[in-house]
């Protein structure tokens, strides 16, 4: 864990360095992440799972924490990236999945989840108890949020049995953007006030101390605030450094702590670099990389349409849309268009709700057929240049093969490069 702490300390000292947190459970995204890191000899890669993706009940991936670790490490082994340079994190770990239950029941389940994450080797733990449970007021007050975070920290500490230098690192913070982007229309966002950011730190520090968790508090490395970035279905609110200047300076008064920025997806390279410079040293990205995945898959499907007769095609796009209509639970609350406009949202919304559907057996089978078709078809370079120019350039430079999986990963790699440039500008 020295790697992340070194990054935090260097950033606090004025060095423009940070770390990207890849929050995805898709195997092609994770493989692209490790291939990208290996090519650039990154000393550390941070992969995070969210509480709704992975928990003791399986989450929407069907994986418990130990399963997710094995899944990630198997992909790293395939790529040849060393397992000892992987840090696993748990994002939004709290009662979020069980908010329909009374607080005591929801928190009991959250304790089990956090303990399972730590026991499985996850070492960066975001304690997020900002959500109201059944019967709670809305919003929760800071003291309640901190008390519940302490409850989960106790469970995490009790579950850890390793060496002191490998003990869990914690992230706190209550001003958390909506996972996966905003559901409603966006206006310009105001950053968290410096006073609110420091109050969150102070209240949590006092709560940890009162519970006898001083050592755990010494491993709190970041707090989540709103830097003024967000995205919805078709708009992005860009980071404006001048509006976050006071917030940026405020964290310098909190020993050992930087900011963690959520919803950085779709920010420009310059904006990401400015965030890192302004002590947002941990940049979370999720939908941004799966959006790139979908772009690449749709491009491959277009190439298939150019090369094969209709009866031989995978029809990946049609299959994906049919399954999304048949099982609307993951998008119904977020997409409100009708007709053709709904078809556009289902495919192209920046919130990328389609990411929940890639594991579907029918969609996975169509993707497998797409890849098999293109392997057999020997895609012409001109067609690859037309539909996936970034992958074409990588192929021409000799850094990837023409295998469809490589083409997809090279396209995802272009997004990862923006984060690499921001977090390690001199690498």
The tens digit of pLDDT for each residue in 302-330 reads 999 999 999 999 999 999 999 999 999 99
pLDDT-derived band at 177 (thresholds 50, 70, 90) equals very low
CA distance 288 to 279: 21
In this structure, are residues 350 and 181 in contact, taking their beta carbons and an 8 Å threshold?
yes
Helices (H) and strands (E) in the chain, counts: 16, 10
DSSP string covering 126-177: EE---S--TT--SSPPHHHHHHHHHHHHHHHHHH--S-GGGPPEEEE-S-PP
User: Does residue 184 carry a pLDDT above 60?
Assistant: no
Average pLDDT over residues 221-247: 96
How large is the average pLDDT for residues 275-289? 98
Q: How far apart are CA 221 and CA 205, in angstroms?
A: 12
**Is the pLDDT at 249 greater than 70, yes or no?**
yes
Cα separation values, 303 from 156, 248, 294, Å = 49, 46, 14
- For 91-138, what is each residue's pLDDT tens digit? 999 999 999 999 999 999 999 999 999 999 999 999 999 999 999 999
pLDDT at 287 over 80: yes
pLDDT at residue 180 is higher than 60:
no
Q: Is the pLDDT of residue 2 over 90?
A: no
Confidence band of 205 (pLDDT split at 50, 70, 90): very high
The pLDDT value recorded for residue 174 is 75
- Please check the confidence at residue 181 and state whether its pLDDT lies above 50: no
Average pLDDT over residues 381-402: 97
For the ranges 15-19, 58-62, 279-283, the lowest mean pLDDT is seen at 58-62
pLDDT of 183 strictly over 90: no
pLDDT digits (tens, 9 = 90+) for 72-81: 999 999 999 9
- Where are the domains positioned within the chain? 2-285, 291-410
Question: What is the share, in percent, of the chain residues with pLDDT greater than 90?
Answer: 94
Express each pLDDT in 334-368 by its tens digit.
999 999 999 999 999 999 999 999 999 999 999 99
Q: What is the mean pLDDT of residues 214-243?
A: 96
Listed in sequence order, the residues at least 6 apart from 39 whose beta carbon sits closer than 8 Å to its beta carbon are 399
Are 299 and 387 spatial neighbours (Cβ–Cβ below 8 Å)?
A: yes
**Taking 70 as the threshold, does the pLDDT of residue 410 lie above it?**
yes
Mean pLDDT, the chain, integer: 95
Is the confidence at residue 423, as pLDDT, over 80?
yes
- Over residues 183-196, mean pLDDT: 77
- Residue 5: which of 124, 154, 176 has the closest Cα? 124
- Say whether pLDDT at 185 is over 70: no
User: In sequence order, which residues have a C-beta less than 8 Å from that of residue 91 and are 6 or more positions away?
Assistant: 21, 23, 48, 49, 50, 51, 126, 128, 284
Res 65 pLDDT > 60: yes
> Domain 2-285: what homologous superfamily?
Aldolase class I (3.20.20.70)
Kindly report the CATH number that applies to the domain delimited by 291-410: 1.10.400.20
For residue 289, the number of C-alpha atoms closer than 13 Å in the C-beta half-sphere is: 28
pLDDT at residue 178 is higher than 60:
no
In sequence order, the 6+-apart residues with CB closer than 8 A to the CB of 25 are 49, 53, 54, 61, 63, 68, 71
d(CA 166, CA 337) in angstroms, rounded, equals: 48
Strand-pairing partners, residue 223, are: 172, 259
- pLDDT greater than 60 at residue 19: yes
Q: Do domains 2-285 and 291-410 have the same CATH topology?
A: no
Res. 173: pLDDT tops 90: yes
What mean pLDDT is predicted for residues 410-423? Answer: 98
């Amino acid at each position: 864990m020295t790697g992340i702490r070194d990054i935090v300390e260097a950033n606090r000292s004025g060095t423009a360095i940070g770390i990207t947190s890849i929050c995805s459970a898709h195997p092609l995204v994770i493989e692209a992440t490790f291939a990208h890191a290996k090519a650039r000899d990154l000393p550390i890669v941070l992969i995070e799972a969210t509480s709704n993706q992975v928990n003791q009940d399986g989450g929407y991936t069907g994986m418990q924490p130990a399963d997710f670790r094995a899944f990630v490490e198997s992909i790293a082994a395939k790529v040849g990236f060393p397992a000892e340079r992987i840090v696993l994190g748990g994002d939004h770990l709290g009662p979020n999945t069980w908010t329909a239950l009374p607080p005591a029941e929801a928190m009991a389940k959250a304790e089990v989840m956090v303990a399972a994450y730590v026991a499985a080797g996850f070492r960066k733990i975001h304690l997020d108890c900002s959500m109201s449970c059944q019967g709670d007021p809305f919003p929760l007050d800071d003291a309640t949020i901190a008390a519940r975070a302490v409850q989960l920290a106790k469970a995490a500490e009790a579950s850890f049995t390793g060496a002191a230098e490998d003990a869990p690192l914690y992230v706190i913070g209550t001003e958390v953007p909506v996972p996966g982007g905003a559901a409603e229309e966006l206006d310009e966002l105001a950053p968290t006030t410096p006073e609110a950011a420091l109050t969150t730190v102070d209240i949590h520090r006092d709560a940890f101390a009162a519970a006898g968790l001083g050592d755990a508090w010494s491993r709190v490395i970041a707090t989540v605030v709103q830097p003024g970035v967000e995205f919805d279905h078709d708009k992005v609110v860009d980071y404006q450094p001048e509006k976050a200047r006071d917030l940026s300076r405020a964290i310098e008064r909190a020993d050992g702590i930087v900011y963690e920025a959520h919803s950085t997806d779709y920010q420009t390279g310059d904006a990401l670099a400015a965030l890192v410079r302004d002590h947002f040293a941990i940049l979370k990205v999720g939908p941004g990389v799966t959006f790139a995945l979908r772009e690449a898959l749709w491009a491959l499907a277009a190439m298939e349409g150019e090369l094969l007769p209709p009866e031989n095609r995978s029809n990946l796009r049609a299959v994906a849309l049919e399954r999304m209509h048949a099982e609307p639970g993951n998008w119904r609350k977020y997409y409100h268009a009708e007709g053709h406009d709904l078809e556009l949202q289902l495919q192209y919304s920046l919130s990328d709700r389609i990411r929940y559907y890639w594991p579907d057996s029918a969609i996975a089978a169509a993707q497998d057929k797409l890849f098999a078709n293109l392997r057999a078809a020997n895609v012409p370079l001109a067609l690859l240049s037309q539909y996936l120019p970034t992958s074409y350039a990588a192929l021409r430079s000799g850094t990837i093969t023409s295998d469809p999986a490589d083409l997809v990963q090279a396209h995802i790699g272009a997004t990862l490069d923006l984060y690499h440039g921001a977090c390690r500008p001199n690498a």
